[in-house]
């Protein structure tokens, strides 16, 4: 029996978005949901206890980075990633493919895998479907991702076609190399860029392999938002309705809502902690750059409508002071708020699905946040 199971609870009559539950060996969580990213077995500046307080049911960790430091053998010796980082809820690990293609200036793609250089010290490395499975099996995550090629954007049709075919072959090799299928669920990744026929080919190839879940990859890589939404509109219906659907690397509020409307269950992104480190926060009234001089004497919370630890206890003026002085506590406060904001946003999305009013919620939120304004700033 598969260790990952999707349970459909309700479909929104207004939008078609779905409310569900994903069951894992480390607990169950409602969807659509946002996964905080803990690249190196930690969500930057936040403790596992704080993530639980916010309601995070699952986090993402990075195969490539943990392979390099501290090494998957050390994590395995510690009892797996859950024990190593003291996190008893769900963990998803990506395949490492995206980092190989984004961090390494030198890389050579062959049928057997990818040759590249370690971004830390320049050492020559090799990552293949089999190696990605070995690392993730050692890490012990609940959800593992198949090793895929992450093509650049934009890419030609010819390049993308060859890439999709290679990703399908690699997916089959991942399934064969997966040593713990009864304990860890392996998801396939649908590629194909913005080409509908290639997305269809990729989806058909992967669905035929009967993965317990499917991701849509190759989006949020520089394409306009309308292109991403269009791709989702013709891709998610190709995926099984009885299995989880995961949109990789997406975390801006508008894309979370638009993705849910298009049938996505799971999202992840480094956005909340990354922009938090730069002094930018998400609020119910829109984007706020706390470093701006206008907040020097502003003794109100970051977001008066937010109930997070940061907003209950600290003011804009104080947080601005901390960020301007490069104090780590300031980064902790903005990161806490941003991660909390997205987790709670998805709770609101789920409630709107229950009430068959996600379309109305979208319009209200976009208006309040400022997404409907001409030249609205996204992240």
Which are the catalytic amino acids?
A: 94, 268
DSSP-assigned letter for residue 238:
G
Starting at the edge strand found earlier in the chain, the sheet holding 5-11 runs 5-11, 18-24, 27-31
**Residue carrying structure tokens 């190839």:** 205
Distance CA(15)–CA(369), nearest Å, equals 20
Residue in 54, 15, 18, 14 with CA at minimum distance from that of residue 244: 18
Q: Under a CB-based contact definition with an 8 Å cutoff, are residues 222 and 190 in contact?
A: no
Q: Under a CB-based contact definition with an 8 Å cutoff, are residues 302 and 281 in contact?
A: yes
Q: What is the DSSP string of 117-177?
A: E-TTT--EEEE-HHHHHHHHHHHT-SEEE-------SS--HHHHHHHHHHHHHHHHHHHHH
Query: Residue 270's CB: how many other CB atoms inside 10 A?
Result: 17
Alpha helices in the chain (DSSP H): 48-54, 63-68, 72-77, 81-85, 97-103, 129-139, 157-177, 196-207, 225-235, 253-261, 271-277, 309-313, 316-324, 328-354, 358-369
């Amino acid at each position: 029996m598969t260790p990952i199971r999707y349970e459909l609870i309700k479909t929104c009559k207004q939008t078609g978005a779905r409310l569900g539950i994903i069951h894992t060996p480390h607990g169950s969580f409602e969807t659509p949901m946002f996964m905080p990213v803990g690249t190196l077995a930690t969500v930057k500046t936040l403790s596992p206890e704080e993530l639980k307080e916010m309601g995070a049911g699952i986090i993402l960790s990075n195969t490539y980075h943990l392979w390099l430091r501290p090494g998957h053998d050390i994590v395995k010796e510690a009892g797996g990633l859950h024990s190593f980082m003291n996190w008893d809820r769900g963990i998803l690990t990506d395949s490492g493919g995206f980092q190989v293609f984004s961090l390494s200036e030198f890389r050579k793609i062959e049928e057997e895998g990818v040759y590249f250089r370690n971004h830390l010290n320049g050492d020559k490395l090799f990552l293949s479907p089999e190696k990605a499975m070995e690392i993730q099996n050692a890490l012990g995550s609940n959800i593992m991702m198949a090793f895929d090629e992450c093509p650049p954007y934009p890419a030609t049709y010819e390049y993308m076609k060859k890439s999709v075919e290679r990703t399908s072959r690699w997916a089959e090799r991942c399934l064969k190399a997966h040593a713990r299928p009864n304990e860890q669920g392996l998801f396939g990744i649908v590629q194909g860029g913005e080409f509908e026929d290639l997305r269809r080919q990729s989806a058909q190839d992967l669905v035929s392999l009967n993965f317990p879940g499917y991701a849509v990859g190759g989006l949020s890589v520089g394409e306009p938002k309308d292109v991403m939404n269009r791709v989702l509109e013709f891709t998610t219906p190709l995926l099984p309705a009885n299995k989880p659907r995961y949109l990789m690397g997406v975390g801006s509020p508008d894309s979370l809502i638009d993705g849910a409307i298009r049938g996505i269950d799971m999202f992840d992104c480094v956005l909340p902690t990354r922009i938090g480190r730069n002094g930018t926060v998400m609020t119910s009234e829109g984007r706020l750059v706390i470093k701006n001089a206008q907040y020097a004497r502003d003794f109100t919370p970051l977001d008066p409508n937010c109930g997070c630890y940061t907003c209950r206890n600290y003011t804009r003026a104080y947080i601005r002071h901390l960020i301007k002085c490069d104090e780590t506590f300031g980064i902790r406060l903005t990161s806490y708020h941003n991660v909390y904001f997205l987790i709670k946003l998805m709770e609101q999305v789920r409630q709107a699905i229950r009430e068959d009013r996600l379309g109305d919620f979208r319009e209200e939120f976009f208006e309040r946040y400022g997404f409907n304004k001409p030249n609205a700033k996204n992240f």
